[in-house]
């Protein structure tokens, strides 16, 4: 049985596969779409992270395919509809990178509150901008969490530890779960209007694509801070860029983008009050071991 490991996962995970006597494990990291298409023809299983796209074309070519495993949460790089039609199971590892992504979100929140990045860069350049780099405090601020699943819930717990007021919009959130997490369940417009901080933890679907757009920013307070470590495209990038430049948004932090890698000439790269990371949400040793094993 051929197992195609298209993206790099934990070595322990690959070793576990190799220990199965009926498995032929093929590692194909960094392969082109054309190479993946050829390698998938006789594969019984394909394992991916977020780099490799399992398209309808790949699924049609892979006549022996039984399962596609996503080492991570989002499955937007897999054509789930085509897989379902072909009788191919799509699996993910939803809890594997929960803590890593929640902690990165809080890192962005802290760096968007205190100008740590600018201060650190300035120190390397010989500057001493003590008076210029004033920040704020998290305590007493309202955090709006869009999506209170595993990651959103972990972010909410950490926000409560910082004595923030937490409100949440999630169409699937029950009152009982909100009470358990000590958060207030609200509608999306209320979340936009009340937030001092807003963080996105929803999957990208037709309903959530572009959800945080010009109209959403218009509802927000002046000086709001916005963060996205979920999926690119939920926040409309052009709307965020304009909101940052106008001062509507005081600071923002992003780990995900509509196009990845982020183009070298993207307007985000020139906006000073925007901290960018290259999709590091699951990039911890613990998370890699968890999603790959």
Active site residues: 231, 260, 279
Cα separation, 164 vs 27, whole angstroms: 45
Strands of 197-200's sheet in order across: 184-185, 165-169, 142-146, 197-200, 224-228, 249-254, 274-276
Decide: helix, strand or coil at residue 99: helix
Q: Which residues of 87-125 are buried (b: 16+ CB within 10 A; e: fewer)?
A: ebeeebbeebbbbbbbbbbbbbbebbbbbeebbeebeee
DSSP per residue over 23-54, as a string? -EEEE-TT--HHHHHHHHTT-SEEEE-SSS-B
Q: In the numeric block, which tokens belong to residue 18? A: 């190799």
How is residue 26 written in tokens? 């093929």
- Angle at which helix 98-113 crosses helix 116-124, to 10 degrees, equals 70
Structure tokens given for 180: 């358990």
């Amino acid at each position: 049985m051929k197992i195609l490991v298209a993206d790099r996962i934990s070595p322990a995970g690959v070793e576990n596969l190799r220990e199965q006597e009926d498995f032929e494990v093929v590692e194909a990291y960094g392969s082109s779409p054309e190479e993946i298409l050829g390698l998938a023809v006789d594969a019984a299983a394909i394992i991916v992270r977020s780099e490799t796209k399992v398209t309808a074309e790949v699924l049609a070519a892979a006549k022996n395919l039984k399962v596609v495993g996503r080492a991570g949460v989002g499955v937007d790089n897999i054509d789930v509809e085509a897989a379902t039609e072909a009788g191919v199971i799509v699996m993910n590892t939803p809890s594997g990178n929960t803590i890593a992504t929640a902690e990165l979100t809080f890192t962005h929140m802290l760096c968007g509150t205190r100008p740590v990045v600018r201060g650190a860069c300035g120190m390397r350049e010989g500057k001493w901008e003590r008076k210029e780099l004033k920040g704020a405090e998290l305590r007493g601020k309202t955090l709006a969490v869009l999506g209170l699943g595993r990651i959103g819930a972990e972010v909410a717990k950490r926000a409560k530890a910082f004595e923030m007021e937490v409100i949440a919009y999630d169409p699937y959130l029950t009152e009982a779960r909100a009470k358990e997490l000590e958060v207030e369940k609200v509608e999306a417009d209320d979340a936009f209007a009340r937030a001092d901080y807003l963080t996105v933890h929803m999957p990208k679907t037709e309903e959530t694509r572009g959800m945080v757009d010009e109209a959403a920013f218009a509802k927000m307070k002046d000086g709001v801070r916005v963060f996205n470590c979920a999926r690119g495209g939920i926040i409309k990038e052009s709307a965020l860029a304009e909101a940052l430049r106008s001062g509507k948004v005081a600071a923002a932090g992003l780990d995900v983008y509509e196009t990845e890698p982020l183009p070298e000439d993207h307007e985000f790269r020139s906006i000073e009050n925007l901290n960018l990371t290259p999709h590091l949400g699951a990039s911890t040793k613990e998370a890699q071991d968890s999603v790959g094993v």
